[in-house]
Amino acid sequence: MSPLIWGRPGVSALLAGSRLRASGATAAASADKEKDPSACKGIAFPELVMRLDGRDQLARMTPAFRRVLRSGFDVGSLLDKLCPVELEDGRVALFTVDDYARSEQIEEFERMVQARGRTLASPARVVVPATLLLSIVRGQITGDTLRSRRRVLLDPVKSSMASAFHDIVAWGARHGASDIHVNLRSAHPESEIRYTLGGRYVMPERFRGMQTSTLREVLAVAYMDIQGGNGAVFDPMIEQQGSILHDVEGVSFMLRWASLATDAGASVTMRLLRMDMREQPPDFARLGYLPSQVRVVERALVAEGGAIVLAGVVGSGKSTTIASMMSRIPSTRKVITLEDPVEYLIPNALQNSVSRSLDGSVSNEFDAKLKTIKRSAMNDLLIGEIRDRSTGRAFMDLASSGSNLYTTTHAGGAALIPDRLASDFIGVSRRLLATPGILKLLVYQTLLPALCPACALPLSSLFDRAGGGGMASHEPDHWRRYADRLHALYAIDVNALKVRNPDGCPACRQSTLPELHGYAGRTVAAEMIDPTVDDGFLRLVRDADTLALRDYFRFQRRSAFDHADMTGKTAMECAIYKASQGLVDPRDIEPRFVSFETVELRRTRAPQVPPGRRRPRRLASGRVQAPLGRRRDAERGGRPA
Ligand SMILES: [Zn+2]
């Protein structure tokens, strides 16, 4: 191992005692610097900086990292840029990012350390990547996790298992997988690795035929890095949970581990959360929100007080959308977040990672943080998810306090969010939910694969084909009748519909998975309810009229299905609009929602007048709505959805 010391030649020779060392990629560069005095031009005084480029180098550092020194050093808001740490020999090093390595603040810190009777390590300044520093400050990397990492790195067998695990994670990370699944089959020599990619459960060719015994070892070694796990070692016979921090090409990922002891063997699912601390969340248009929807969100963002609640299934991109909303809040407002874990760096926000306990409930840490936050005069607060009674209480407390609350929950539609919040699991009072001003905006979103614009084919290209996309084969005119049904249901121009090209093109064939050829990323399909302009909705919430809530959108639509105005349209109708523009394959819509046949049946059987209303209802805008909708539909040969 060679010392990683950047400094004036000669000065290092004066150093006494043990030196910080780490092996790794930057060693050569540092050695060059020591040979070349010109590299140190402009440095006016003896300066010693070590540079670590990742967690593995940190794990190899001697003397090893022991803990972050919080008490006794008033680091305050500098903590994510400059952090005093204690090493195993009791000396103190200052972990910092590039910009602060030569700052006045770090000099001040060095004086402070000595003034407190502590000895500085040599070199005292250790430059680490910003994401690594955040993980250290947030306690995601600890002396313990580094020790077990070091054990793995020093053992050649374990080390090769660790690199196999890295390959598995890196493949998922590069392809934008939301989950990695390792299914051990104890009775078989081979087991399987699958990924959830674009909502599909796929098995890439390169991980086929993995040996069961090897995979079990790979999981056992990976589990050594687990935090908050139940059990010290991986046990295929029991259910285990926890999280692992893992870097792929300089980006940190949080892997949320959940293993299920199935009859065939352990099935480990790892949710892949990209902790993109350097990147700002994408804007709404890039996520796939349409202009009329962006306007609704913007209206909600400027309104004072109340909650914006986002629903969707797991992996539907809720946290990305919420982070995008938060990043639009003006800097004159105090923004605090409570997340599990922090995935995006939101400018101007004071972000907090709180981990859930093993049973999935929120820990005491959450309650303690919340207590302090309530006294911190914040304007906007993000609570990652409302999922149990503890977060439900927090919701009631905060939504009625006049601050702006942003959160997510699991519900099958925007109109079903109040029902979910009022459920026995969460226990928010219906009365409160029906109070004007408490619910500001309800959003439901899902993600659909977006067609590659370079190679998408017209729907008519299917007309001569039988077969139905992997399902049982259909009669030859199947797709013609499919097009007819779409036209009858939605009065859209079926000649504008496009479908995926299964062969793909150079623009979209970067994946080794044929299932993804013809696609270019994913796009949001969303529905929104703005209860601030619709008292009728709040009345249904108050009366717990679940059926009327389910059918809420039936009488809300104001424009044709191929019109860009999304007012009163469901997420499925939003997807239909995107299909009418050739952006998504209509065949990808049914699996996310309901079949077109179900839509047809519901329309013919459902009442044609809103429940409890004889006359057409006036909207807040004063427009008479139902007859207008029907008139438009009549013109287009359709009926209201
Ligand atoms: Zn293509």
Question: Higher pLDDT residue, 367 or 219?
Answer: 219
- Please tell me the distance between residue 106's alpha carbon and the centre of ligand 1 in angstroms: 51
How confident is residue 352, by pLDDT bands cut at 50, 70 and 90?
Answer: confident
Six token digits for residue 307? 């909650």
Cis peptide before 236 (omega within 30 of 0): no
> Hey, is 210 helix, strand or coil?
strand
How confident is residue 14, by pLDDT bands cut at 50, 70 and 90?
Answer: very low
- E runs forming strands in 510-639: 519-529
- pLDDT at position 580, please? 97
- Please tell me the distance between residue 519's alpha carbon and the centre of ligand 1 in angstroms: 7
Residue 633 scores a pLDDT above 80: no
Residue 19 scores a pLDDT above 90: no
Task: Return d(Cα 263, Cα 261) in angstroms, integer.
Answer: 7
Q: What is the pLDDT of residues 40-87, one digit of tens each?
A: 333 333 457 889 988 888 999 989 999 988 777 776 667 778 889 999
Task: Return d(Cα 149, Cα 225) in angstroms, integer.
Answer: 7
Most confident of 247-251, 275-279, 476-480, 490-494: 490-494
Q: What is the pLDDT of residues 171-188, one digit of tens each?
A: 999 888 889 999 999 999
- pLDDT at position 443, please? 97
Task: Return d(Cα 396, Cα 400) in angstroms, integer.
Answer: 6
- Please tell me the distance between residue 606's alpha carbon and the centre of ligand 1 in angstroms: 41
- pLDDT at position 639, please? 42
Task: Return d(Cα 569, Cα 559) in angstroms, integer.
Answer: 9
Question: Higher pLDDT residue, 345 or 525?
Answer: 525
- Please tell me the distance between residue 484's alpha carbon and the centre of ligand 1 in angstroms: 27
- Please tell me the distance between residue 508's alpha carbon and the centre of ligand 1 in angstroms: 4
Question: Higher pLDDT residue, 148 or 218?
Answer: 218
* 3-state SS track over 419-487: HHHCCCCCCCCHHHHCCCCCEEEEEEEEEEEEECCCCCEEHHHHCCCCCECCECCCCCCHHHHHHHHHH
Question: Higher pLDDT residue, 176 or 126?
Answer: 126
How confident is residue 278, by pLDDT bands cut at 50, 70 and 90?
Answer: low
- pLDDT at position 38, please? 38
- Please tell me the distance between residue 347's alpha carbon and the centre of ligand 1 in angstroms: 35
Say if CB 538 and CB 546 are below 8 A apart.
no
Say if CB 596 and CB 590 are below 8 A apart.
yes
What mean pLDDT is reported for the chain? 82
Q: Which residues lie below 8 Å from residue 136, measured CB to CB, with a gap of 6+?
A: 65, 68, 83, 85, 95, 128
- Strands 210-211, 190-197: parallel, antiparallel or unpaired by DSSP? antiparallel
- Please tell me the distance between residue 454's alpha carbon and the centre of ligand 1 in angstroms: 5
- Please tell me the distance between residue 247's alpha carbon and the centre of ligand 1 in angstroms: 30
- Please tell me the distance between residue 511's alpha carbon and the centre of ligand 1 in angstroms: 11
- Please tell me the distance between residue 291's alpha carbon and the centre of ligand 1 in angstroms: 26
- Please tell me the distance between residue 457's alpha carbon and the centre of ligand 1 in angstroms: 10
For residue 608, how many C-alpha atoms fall within 13 Å in the half-sphere facing its CB? 7
Task: Return d(Cα 254, Cα 321) in angstroms, integer.
Answer: 19
CA 435, 524, 483: angle at the middle one, nearest 5?
115
Task: Return d(Cα 311, Cα 418) in angstroms, integer.
Answer: 11
The answer regarding whether domain 155-275 maps to CATH 3.30.450.90 reads yes
- Please tell me the distance between residue 510's alpha carbon and the centre of ligand 1 in angstroms: 10
Six token digits for residue 216? 């079990």
Please state, in angstroms and as integers, the Cα–Cα distance from residue 347 to each residue in 279, 281, 619, following that order: 10, 10, 38
Measured distance between the N- and C-terminal CA atoms of the chain, rounded to whole angstroms: 70
Domain ranges of the chain: 12-148, 155-275, 284-438, 448-636
- Please tell me the distance between residue 270's alpha carbon and the centre of ligand 1 in angstroms: 30
- pLDDT at position 466, please? 60
Residue range 605-617: mean pLDDT, rounded: 56
Say if CB 66 and CB 88 are below 8 A apart.
yes
Query: What are 404's strand-pairing partners?
Result: 306, 380
Phi-psi region of 83 (alpha: psi -120 to 50; beta: other; left: phi over 0): beta
Question: Higher pLDDT residue, 613 or 224?
Answer: 224
Six token digits for residue 151? 């054990």
Cis peptide before 341 (omega within 30 of 0): yes
- Please tell me the distance between residue 9's alpha carbon and the centre of ligand 1 in angstroms: 56
- Please tell me the distance between residue 473's alpha carbon and the centre of ligand 1 in angstroms: 25
- Please tell me the distance between residue 578's alpha carbon and the centre of ligand 1 in angstroms: 18
For residue 52, how many C-alpha atoms fall within 13 Å in the half-sphere facing its CB? 27
CA 484, 489, 494: angle at the middle one, nearest 5?
45
- Please tell me the distance between residue 580's alpha carbon and the centre of ligand 1 in angstroms: 19
Q: Which residues lie below 8 Å from residue 353, measured CB to CB, with a gap of 6+?
A: 138, 140, 339, 340, 341, 342
Residue 29 scores a pLDDT above 60: no
The pLDDT > 70 percentage for the chain reads: 83
- pLDDT at position 276, please? 67
**E strand or H helix that includes residue 309:** strand 306-311
Residue 636 scores a pLDDT above 50: no
Q: What is the pLDDT of residues 362-410, one digit of tens each?
A: 567 788 888 888 888 889 999 989 988 989 999 998 988 889 999 999 9
Least confidently predicted of 136-145, 213-222, 613-622: 613-622
DSSP state of 199: T
- Please tell me the distance between residue 503's alpha carbon and the centre of ligand 1 in angstroms: 8
- Please tell me the distance between residue 584's alpha carbon and the centre of ligand 1 in angstroms: 13
H-type helices in 375-475, by residue range? 389-399, 417-421, 430-433
- Please tell me the distance between residue 495's alpha carbon and the centre of ligand 1 in angstroms: 20
DSSP state of 196: E
DSSP state of 328: T
Say if CB 593 and CB 575 are below 8 A apart.
yes
Closest CA to 130 of 277, 325, 319: 277
The pLDDT > 90 percentage for the chain reads: 45
How confident is residue 259, by pLDDT bands cut at 50, 70 and 90?
Answer: very high
- pLDDT at position 288, please? 95
Residue 300 scores a pLDDT above 90: yes
- pLDDT at position 131, please? 80
How confident is residue 20, by pLDDT bands cut at 50, 70 and 90?
Answer: low
- Please tell me the distance between residue 453's alpha carbon and the centre of ligand 1 in angstroms: 7
- Please tell me the distance between residue 486's alpha carbon and the centre of ligand 1 in angstroms: 25
- Please tell me the distance between residue 512's alpha carbon and the centre of ligand 1 in angstroms: 14
Say if CB 187 and CB 173 are below 8 A apart.
no
Q: What is the pLDDT of residues 469-516, one digit of tens each?
A: 545 456 778 899 999 999 999 999 999 999 999 999 999 886 678 888
- pLDDT at position 44, please? 37
CATH code: domain 284-438 is 3.40.50.300
- Strands 349-353, 335-339: parallel, antiparallel or unpaired by DSSP? parallel
How confident is residue 34, by pLDDT bands cut at 50, 70 and 90?
Answer: very low
Report residue 358: phi and psi, to 5°: -60, -35
Residue range 155-183: mean pLDDT, rounded: 92
Task: Return d(Cα 454, Cα 582) in angstroms, integer.
Answer: 12
How confident is residue 37, by pLDDT bands cut at 50, 70 and 90?
Answer: very low
Q: Which residues lie below 8 Å from residue 534, measured CB to CB, with a gap of 6+?
A: 619, 620
Task: Return d(Cα 257, Cα 268) in angstroms, integer.
Answer: 7
- Please tell me the distance between residue 464's alpha carbon and the centre of ligand 1 in angstroms: 22
Residue range 219-240: mean pLDDT, rounded: 88
- Please tell me the distance between residue 49's alpha carbon and the centre of ligand 1 in angstroms: 48
Buried b / exposed e along 203-218 (16+ C-beta atoms within 10 A): ebeebeebebeebbbb
Least confidently predicted of 24-33, 43-52, 137-146, 621-630: 24-33
Buried b / exposed e along 143-157 (16+ C-beta atoms within 10 A): eebbebbbebbeeee
Please state, in angstroms and as integers, the Cα–Cα distance from residue 86 to each residue in 6, 89, 91, 565, following that order: 21, 8, 6, 58
- Please tell me the distance between residue 513's alpha carbon and the centre of ligand 1 in angstroms: 13
How confident is residue 277, by pLDDT bands cut at 50, 70 and 90?
Answer: low
Residue range 154-167: mean pLDDT, rounded: 92
